A = this chain, B = another copy of it.
């Protein structure tokens, strides 16, 4: 019996000795984020007409050669809420830029920071990626974070919830962090 245990131990040891080579940098499982936060992003755009509550501003004009606004660039400090209502308690701010980058479809490119400063979270999440507006959901990369989201990585999925011309839109942000510290 004792001999059996020793042999079994030896077998296990060999297994373990070589397993770390494969075990380190364990692959993330898409279906199992370590943290998930759903928030809503509200963009109220200023494009020349006075809008007291506008939180984003057009900085370049579309080229005008197409109907898809190619060339329009917007910088923003937009409201982020926990539910779909614009007047709910702010959960974060979204600060960054987006621009319409193609002349054959509504497609924008985003790079921005979610800034949290509440009792719940303190810190930032940095996001970038393409946002093909005509698709139901679009995945962008979470490339870093600070504070409560210290060196986070993951995926942020956009889903369009409401569009009112080029004055207002609301996006659902499904934030999935696979690595956080």
Contact = CB atoms under 8 A, between A and B. Distances in A.
Q: How large is the interface on A (under 10, 10 to 19, 20 to 34, 35 or more residues)?
A: 35 or more
Interface of A: 2-3, 5-6, 9-10, 12-13, 16-17, 19-21, 23-30, 46, 54-55, 57-60, 63, 65, 70-71, 73, 75-77, 95-97, 99-104, 107, 109, 111-113, 115, 123-124, 126, 128-130, 132, 139-147, 150-151, 153-155, 178-179, 181
B143 A129 contact: no
Contacts of A99: 59, 75, 97
A143 B143 contact: yes
A126 B143 contact: yes
Contacts of A23: 20, 24
Given A28-B181, A103-B57, A151-B153, A73 B70 contact: no
Interface of A is mostly: strand
Contacts of A153: 144, 151
A104 to B, nearest CB: 7
A12 B17 CA distance: 9
Given A28-B181, A144-B141, A154-B151, A101 B96 contact: yes
21 contacts: A2-B2, A5-B6, A12-B13, A16-B16, A23-B24, A28-B151, A29-B181, A30-B150, A54-B103, A57-B70, A70-B75, A70-B77, A73-B75, A75-B109, A77-B103, A77-B107, A95-B130, A128-B128, A128-B144, A143-B143, A151-B153
